[in-house]
Structure 1
């Protein structure tokens, strides 16, 4: 029923746009015949309003992948650099949490490893909402921060790196064949906040897929059984995402516009000093308001990278402010 409703909304939206445009063109023609400028002005205003509506619907055209409508997992990993990178990882975790909340999505923190002094070493989010994976999928990669370090007594400028990994929650429409013989399962005590019971029992679960080396872990629940079930879901999602990546690489092997995903490939820079700028290195889209971006205003970057990924062509550089 949910899929049917989405299809109905899409079809009815196209019908509305088409009918409004045809009616407006007829009104303009009638206004010209009768010499009535008010009719022409009203019709032109309706056409201008269509442009705004089309821009909102355009993103739906970019989200046509098999898993795009699904919920998504988002992993954040601090790079080399100790406290600086760990603090940057916590800033990214906050940025994507804010983005999800502002866009009406639900967020669950499944796993987190705190840094020694500040920030985090790693964390895993579950973001729930229609098209969550589709919107987030181009965020995978390395994110670079340049700023005056709050942890440097000499107030020197530092460059930090953290990576984001995005993969979809697998629903019943997608089959991923994996058995217990293919994995190694470890249990351990959860770290960080969570109460006495969580921290004193082996409730956290780590699953390693032996063939690929993929590792997932969950410690969000007090029950080891619930954490195990969530970890299995995460593993199936990671294996599916790996297969999607292989398909995309095979499809784009002959094109220069291929988007590499993984550690070592910088996709976006966030510069706080000596000037203020966030720039996506794949599309050229910029913002001169880094604080707004770090507060969750990431959608323009996502939409531009989706368009670039699908079209395989350069996107016009624009300042999203």
Structure 2
């Protein structure tokens, strides 16, 4: 077997070993068997909340275990085909198996990165806030473009997006939006997207067709599980009700159902207007506040554990992380990792994986080619 082929097999085998360790494979298989047994019990669905938690854990373990089994089986099949092809002098069989191995190496590289999403909240769902910067309609339209971009990325990954709050722009676009993104490792994948995004283009709102630079900011923070305790005292809160704006039906717009909560010690503000019920909006906003406070604590821990300069590069509201240039040429460049893509429209259609993977790899200290 050629050295190049053996190198590919070694890469895939190394990744499989890492993935097995990451999921604690034997323990995970035993746990999955236990969960499957629970789902067959006659009274399983009597407690809906507990049942849903069990199903989420079961589905997550199934995906992790099947991924490892499928990758192992595919590699073994390729090795067997290559050995058969060499023995029988069939170059076509060897070439076909080699091509599959090459794809597996690419897949292994992605899965190895994913296995490093082992932070305290990486597996959680997340909230994504987008705010238009200064610049009126231009910035508000850019913020709307970012909402669409992340929506497309979530759609491609099979993540579910729920609108929590939206403040419409005066002429076009949005002033701000808050979305909840549900999916395995949603926070782990998106956490490095927090920061300022810069757009350069010919303005569709400028009759003189001049070039404009617009800014919008994204902020990602994890949904807090019920088993994570976050202390919030009533005396530290200011709760305001207001009339919802934007879509939502006549009832939403006629009642003071929207909720804004300000955490006075940190000046964190969250708001929710997606439900007709003020009570449910209050509960959602409170959960968002807990999530923001938890994310703030995660930042403090990371800053304490990392070199200050490196930490400030990756963390913090107000850091410009990426430039999207649509004129006079097309290019999207991540300013932290120097990853560039010439297909700007593809990026705006949700092709973000190369940027996200590079920033995650840099964050965990991996060296990528």
Normalising by structure 2, report the TM-score. Answer: 0.77
Structure 2: which 5+ runs fail to align? 1-53
Counterpart of 2:151 in structure 1 is 97
Q: 1:150 to 1:50 in 2, by over 3 A?
A: closer
Counterpart of 1:288 in structure 2 is 342
SS in 2 for 1:212: coil
Which of 179, 184, 194 is the equivalent residue of 2:233? 179
Structure number having the greater helix percentage = 2
**Partners of 2:308 and 2:210 in 1: how far apart?**
43
Which of 295, 298, 306 is the equivalent residue of 2:352? 298
Counterpart of 2:186 in structure 1 is 132
1:146 shift after superposition: 0.3
Counterpart of 2:319 in structure 1 is 265
1:172 shift after superposition: 2.0
- CA distances 1:89-139 after superposition (whole Å, capped 9, x unpaired): 111111111221222111111111112222111110111111111111110
Does the CA-based 8 Å contact 1:206-1:231 persist in structure 2? Answer: yes
Instruction: Work out whether 1:115 is the aligned partner of 2:172.
Output: no
Counterpart of 2:127 in structure 1 is 73
Q: 1:214 to 1:185 in 2, by over 3 A?
A: same
Normalising by structure 1, report the TM-score. Answer: 0.88
SS in 2 for 1:134: helix
SS in 2 for 1:66: coil
SS in 1 for 2:131: strand
Does the CA-based 8 Å contact 2:314-2:363 persist in structure 1? Answer: no
Counterpart of 1:58 in structure 2 is 112
Instruction: Work out whether 1:247 is the aligned partner of 2:278.
Output: no
Size of the aligned set, in residue pairs, is 314
1:257 shift after superposition: 6.5
Which of 251, 255, 263 is the equivalent residue of 1:197? 251
Q: Kindly report the root-mean-square deviation, in angstroms, between the aligned alpha carbons of the 2 structures.
A: 2.5
- CA distances 1:129-173 after superposition (whole Å, capped 9, x unpaired): 111111111100000000111122221111111100000111123
Counterpart of 1:319 in structure 2 is none
